[in-house]
Structure 1
Amino acid sequence: MLTVGDLRDQVGMGKVDTVVVAFTDMQGRLQGKRLHAQYFLDVVLGHGTEGCNYLLAVDIDMNTVDGYAISSWEQGYGDMEFVLDLDTIRMLPHLPATAMVQCDLAWPDRRPVVQSPRAILARQVAKAADAGFVALAGTELEFIVFDTTYEEAWNAGYRGLPPSNQYNVDYSILGTSRIEPLLRDLRNATYAAGMNVEGAKGECNFGQHEVGFLYDEVLVTADNHAVYKTMAKEIAAQHGKALTFMAKYNEREGNSCHIHLSLRGADGTIVFGEGAERSPTYEHFIAGMLATMRDFTLLYAPNVNSYKRFAAGSFAPTAIAWGLDNRTCAIRLVGRGPSARLENRVPGGDVNPYLALAAMLAGGLHGIEEELPLEPQLVGNAYESDKPHVPSTLRDARDAFHGSAIARSVFGDEVVDHYTNMADVELLAYGAAVTDWELRRSFERM
């Protein structure tokens, strides 16, 4: 990570000539501009820069769509200000002479854009701080690697792509050795970009792997997550490969994004309990997450494809339950004392980390405020339990979120209506699509 002074020195020595100014959009993607470094120092640092407000009101294909209150043809598609967060300046070592700074968003009158994912998380971070807590989190993000370029994958319709491993390589050293040049570059580049990378391991689907990072404060974790996803795709392309974070690429195991979260006191004290004993605060937090899990699933699983992960025996949860080191539950408790934390197993690789972390914090803080009691842990196979289930479709999740009094209370109507419309846009597009499955079954035989 760099200070402004560090960046000036790097530019002066000719080691940086490009600054990427980026924010994270609704879909979890980095959007922004590449600026000449001297222009950034001379102009943008003092006066800022802008981008079209449709960037928070488009679908995945960047089409302008109806239904968003903040942006439309009638309003003229004006600008938003990119508000530089100078604590996020970092080198991007996989790109020549390039640094990056991440941004918040504001309207021309300096009001924050409350629908921005980073703003939604920041609001919950502030709420936690008001209650005397600091939230720490780590994300475990899986991806599938293919021995093909992104251009070749596009031309093939993303079908029949050769995976970089031909069998299950979960924890396999030999399996990770097959693509170690890529994994090594990912580890080293992310470390050099200011992320505390832990390591890489193989996963279950063919060509599936994971790079893990040490926990940090939730906003830092979300920022790093967003940068890492973009870096991973760029580095894969440099190796002549393609990788995907989509929740369910094929009928085998999907890409998960397990999220670990804990609270500390403002002075660093342990909040979740000492030794094997859980504190009442910890139990209320878990109870709050369980109580809001169904209403907030849209923020954990934001796409049509997300819901294809949720299947019995898939290691993706279906039951809204908690258990001690139980991977069949939506919430798994691990660690003790300083390492005590909960793992949310609902999100997939397509999740927007800001929204998921905001939902976890909002749910947990709701449980603390209301002193919700924690139900007994689930022992055994949660897939075969009588516990309520997470929504099984995007439409069910959309309806639960839209009609949720808790969601409207903790996030506000503007946010709930904005992300409900995002779901409506995706559902409309999916409903109009004719799939390969339909063609195979219907073209000749119907």
Structure 2
Amino acid sequence: MSDDPSPYESPYQRLRAEAAAGKIEEVIVAVPDLQGRLQGSRLSVPYFLDEIAGGAGGFGACVYLLASDVEMDTGPGYAIDAWKTGFGDFLLRPDPATLRTRLPWDEGTALILADAHWPGPDGASPGSPVAVAPRHILRTQLDRLAERGLTALAGTELEFLVFLDTYRAARETRYENLTTATAHNVDYALQGLTDIEPVVRRIRREMGRAGLAMETARGECHPGQYEIVFRYAEAMTTCDNHVFFKNGAKQIAAQEGVSLTFMPKYDAGEGNSCHLHLSLRATDGTPVLADPSAEDGMSALMRHFVAGQLACLPDLTLLMAPNINSYKRLQPGAFAPTGIAWGRDNRTCPIRVVGTGPSLRLEHRVPGGDANPYLALAAAIAAGLHGIDHALELPPPHTDNALTDPSVPRLPRTLTEALHLWETSATAATLFGPEVLTHYAAAARAELAAFESSVTDWERVRGFERL
């Protein structure tokens, strides 16, 4: 979302004015990839304004950016086969609503997010959107909401671990024996934060200067763990803010000589979550989830929407937990969801209904810090629409510990299980289409293949002498 509070008629006018004043020298044009990371290039301001933003074209970027794994390796199986097509380009079409002219950790630089399009008939102007691009996948589900006269508001709550080691030092030790920035559990604590406060204070301050509105911040359970919550917004804006925050927080940490990670499960301690808060409004802004006349305060539409989450969660877990490590967090005893249930203000359930009246909303607790927010929110919205369209009945809320109740159906236990449910699901195919289904199945297979071909430290400790 633009941080433009000025009288300029458009974000690009402001960019031109700030460049003329010597405040902005470069523009980063970035696209969120399959992992929710920002990939792109730095452009000079004149080139961006005159050649990219000023015309009907776009900026060329290699198609493999949306068909690669964490290591940027690509291959057959994706809906985009970069090798087969000669590693050609798609066109990145900047979204002016996402322009940020303040990056306090990268002075003189602006950043704008772009949507990936295939080249049109002339090869120079954008044609159809790339169907597997995360922003497009979310936009498709938001369009489905709009067809029903609805809009989505969302918020994400990201946790991360801070270490006093630099990224380089952490890399050289293979990320083992690192020093956490707090010595013990500092959940809600107001002491014991001395070593972590300098970097998280800078993150809070500079994200605010960049246009993000912080709501709360506090220490968390795992030593070195912290959470910053930014104000909810329209769903696409929230996801854009989310990826911007993750990218900037890592850069700030590196500049401060420390490191941080959003990975769901760094060790045997508490994992890093990314709880999603989601509510619906009518297009005029009227809340539609609450019904004061109902005994539970929930409208019929909300009951169907929540029921859809339960019905679709097994098949759509892959979009919320996309990596091997995701499932290390979703284990018994880890205070992360393991079953499929919903409850009122019950943190042991994957679907927690919270708030009252206009603030009534659902909290989705399955995604971890590695979740691609566009995909996770698209999955939640698609599941809710499935519940609405089929008028699914909502079972009674779970009122006790869903983590230990053997009667609660189990979430997928591994990436392999989630992949199988995803690619054999008629519901997922209907909600997202065969191209998206195939593409993200290939992404999961690439993750599994990389893991299965690696020899881990656990294997060496277990087998070096004794096998």
- Tell me the TM-score normalised to structure 2 length: 0.94
Q: Which amino acid aligns with 2:25?
A: D
Q: Percent same amino acid at aligned positions?
A: 50
Q: Specify the alignment match of 2:421 in structure 1.
A: 400
Say which of 92, 97, 105 aligns to 2:108: 97
Whole-angstrom CA distance in 1 between matches of 2:166 and 2:275: 27
Deviation at 1:194, TM superposition (A): 1.6
SS of the aligned residue for 1:22 comes to strand
Q: Specify the alignment match of 1:358 in structure 2.
A: 378
Equivalent residue runs for 1:333-348 within 5 Å: 333-348=353-368
Q: Does structure 2 conserve the Cα–Cα contact (< 8 Å) formed by 1:284 and 1:368?
A: yes
Output the aligned Cα RMSD: 1.0
Whole-angstrom CA distance in 2 between matches of 1:305 and 1:426: 10
Q: Does structure 1 conserve the Cα–Cα contact (< 8 Å) formed by 2:75 and 2:81?
A: no
Q: Does structure 2 conserve the Cα–Cα contact (< 8 Å) formed by 1:199 and 1:212?
A: yes
Structure 2 stretches of 5 or more lacking a match?
5-10, 121-126
Q: Which amino acid aligns with 1:24?
A: P
Whole-angstrom CA distance in 1 between matches of 2:454 and 2:187: 35
Q: Which amino acid aligns with 1:214?
A: R
Deviation at 1:105, TM superposition (A): 0.4
SS of the aligned residue for 2:155 comes to strand
Deviation at 1:387, TM superposition (A): 1.3
Q: Which amino acid aligns with 1:272?
A: L
Q: Does structure 1 conserve the Cα–Cα contact (< 8 Å) formed by 2:183 and 2:192?
A: no
Q: Does structure 2 conserve the Cα–Cα contact (< 8 Å) formed by 1:17 and 1:38?
A: no
Q: Does structure 2 conserve the Cα–Cα contact (< 8 Å) formed by 1:272 and 1:281?
A: yes
Matched, 1:389 2:399: no
Deviation at 1:398, TM superposition (A): 0.2
Q: Specify the alignment match of 1:371 in structure 2.
A: 391
Ranges of 4+ aligned residues in structure 1 off by more than 3 Å: 175-178
1:314-360 CA distance string (max 9 Å, x none): 22000100011111001011100011011001000000000000000
1:158-207 CA distance string (max 9 Å, x none): 01111101100101111334322211211121112121111311001110
Q: Specify the alignment match of 1:235 in structure 2.
A: 252
Whole-angstrom CA distance in 2 between matches of 1:175 and 1:357: 35
Q: Does structure 2 conserve the Cα–Cα contact (< 8 Å) formed by 1:149 and 1:242?
A: yes
Whole-angstrom CA distance in 2 between matches of 1:55 and 1:62: 8
1:202-244 CA distance string (max 9 Å, x none): 0011100011111101000000000100000000011100000
Q: Does structure 2 conserve the Cα–Cα contact (< 8 Å) formed by 1:187 and 1:199?
A: no
SS of the aligned residue for 1:173 comes to coil
Q: Does structure 1 conserve the Cα–Cα contact (< 8 Å) formed by 2:196 and 2:224?
A: no
Q: Specify the alignment match of 1:63 in structure 2.
A: 73
Deviation at 1:41, TM superposition (A): 1.5
1:85-142 CA distance string (max 9 Å, x none): 0111012122111111101100012111000000000000010011111100000000
Whole-angstrom CA distance in 2 between matches of 1:87 and 1:312: 42
Taking a change above 3 Å as real, the CA distance of residues 356 and 394 of structure 1, as seen in their structure-2 partners, is same
Whole-angstrom CA distance in 2 between matches of 1:227 and 1:239: 18
Deviation at 1:257, TM superposition (A): 0.4
Whole-angstrom CA distance in 1 between matches of 2:255 and 2:266: 22
Say which of 306, 310, 331 aligns to 1:290: 310
Q: Specify the alignment match of 2:83 in structure 1.
A: 73
Which 10-residue stretch deviates more, 377-386 or 244-253? Answer: 377-386
Q: Specify the alignment match of 1:427 in structure 2.
A: 448
1:372-420 CA distance string (max 9 Å, x none): 0001111111022211111000000000000111111010000000000
Which 10-residue stretch deviates more, 190-199 or 173-182? Answer: 173-182
Deviation at 1:73, TM superposition (A): 1.8
Deviation at 1:44, TM superposition (A): 1.7
SS of the aligned residue for 1:200 comes to strand
Q: Which amino acid aligns with 2:142?
A: V
How many residues are matched?
446
Q: Specify the alignment match of 1:53 in structure 2.
A: 63
Which 10-residue stretch deviates more, 120-129 or 70-79? Answer: 70-79
- Tell me the TM-score normalised to structure 1 length: 0.98
Say which of 207, 222, 245 aligns to 2:224: 207
Whole-angstrom CA distance in 1 between matches of 2:163 and 2:84: 43
Matched, 1:7 2:6: no
Say which of 278, 292, 310 aligns to 1:261: 278
Equivalent residue runs for 1:33-182 within 5 Å: 33-45=41-53, 46=55, 47-90=57-100, 91-109=102-120, 110-182=127-199
- The structure richer in helix per residue is 1
Q: Does structure 2 conserve the Cα–Cα contact (< 8 Å) formed by 1:284 and 1:374?
A: yes
Q: Specify the alignment match of 2:7 in structure 1.
A: none
Whole-angstrom CA distance in 2 between matches of 1:126 and 1:197: 28
Matched, 1:16 2:37: no
